[in-house]
Each structure stands twice: as C-alpha cells, then as structure tokens.
Amino acid sequence: MSSFFLTKELAAQAIDLVRPIIEKMVATGVTAKPGDLKIVVLDSTKVYGTCNFAEAIVVDIGNGAPKEKYTAVARSKANIVWKTGKDSLYVQQFEPQLLEGGDTKWGGGIIQNGIIVAVSGLEEWADIFVAKMVAAACSALIAKQMRVMMASDTIFLA
C-alpha cells in the first residue's frame, strides 16, 4: 500500500508551487548556487526496514540540470531522515553517531508532519528552506483533499 494522498502528482504539484520561490532566490542572489537542484519526497506510509529505499520514493525530481552528485546527496539526506526520523542537519549536529558509511555529511533532509523531503544543490540552509516549503505545500494540498473527502458521503478512502 501507498499513501492515498501523498502521490507523485501531489508532490510534483507542491514542487511546482515552490519553484517560483527557488527561481526568485537565485535571480536575486539570495543563494549563490544556480538553482540546479534535486528534490526527493518519500511516502509517509513506508516504514524504514519494511521496504527498500527506492520503493519509498514518491518523487525524485530535478530543478534545472542537477549534477549527478546532487541526486546522490538528496537521496542520502532523505534516507538519513527515513531511518532516524530526524532532520539530517539535526543528526549531523547532535547525533552524528547515527550516520553510517556512505551517508552524506550535509543537512537538507527534513521531516514535517510526517512528510520527508530532501533537497540538494543549493547552500545547506537553502536546501533546508526549500525542503520545508515543499513539505508545507504537500501538507496544504493534502489538507485541501481531505476537506473535500470529509464533505463527501464517502466513508472509506477509495
């Protein structure tokens, strides 16, 4: 089973909502990097250890033309959050003993309202900012869908 609400389409829509902010950050020089980044969103219903990482990915999208290393780093950030239940920056700063060989040293993976998002390609603070915005957009879009569901005669999600 997969999340009924956190779908590939919903995650892509959330990223599209955030994309203009990323572009503005780059255009105005708020971030020094070009905005070629990787965004990974995981399925909230997939519990670490019950499936492999690839099965937990809802969306793995590039913005611009991300370097190959950004893909690997974003996935590693997401995996750190998935296995620890903690933001990757928190693990880096306060619980580095949780890191394993092959894990990235960078923050930029977050968990917010049970939604895991990881971003790589900007400065670490900007990766975190974008990840939080994507998670917030996912939460808002899911809340909107839930309101529609609650107003319907449907008893079970189908």
Average pLDDT for the chain: 95
Average pLDDT of the segment spanning 24-36:
85
What was the pLDDT predicted at 31?
A: 87
> What is the tens place of the pLDDT at every residue in 47-75?
999 999 999 999 999 877 778 899 999 99
Q: Which domains does the chain have, with CATH numbers?
A: 8-143 (3.30.450.150)
User: How many residues are listed for the chain in this entry?
Assistant: 158
Average pLDDT of the segment spanning 119-147:
97
What was the pLDDT predicted at 63?
A: 77
What was the pLDDT predicted at 158?
A: 81
100 confidence band (pLDDT: 50, 70, 90): very high
Average pLDDT of the segment spanning 13-39:
90
Average pLDDT of the segment spanning 138-148:
97
Average pLDDT of the segment spanning 129-152:
97
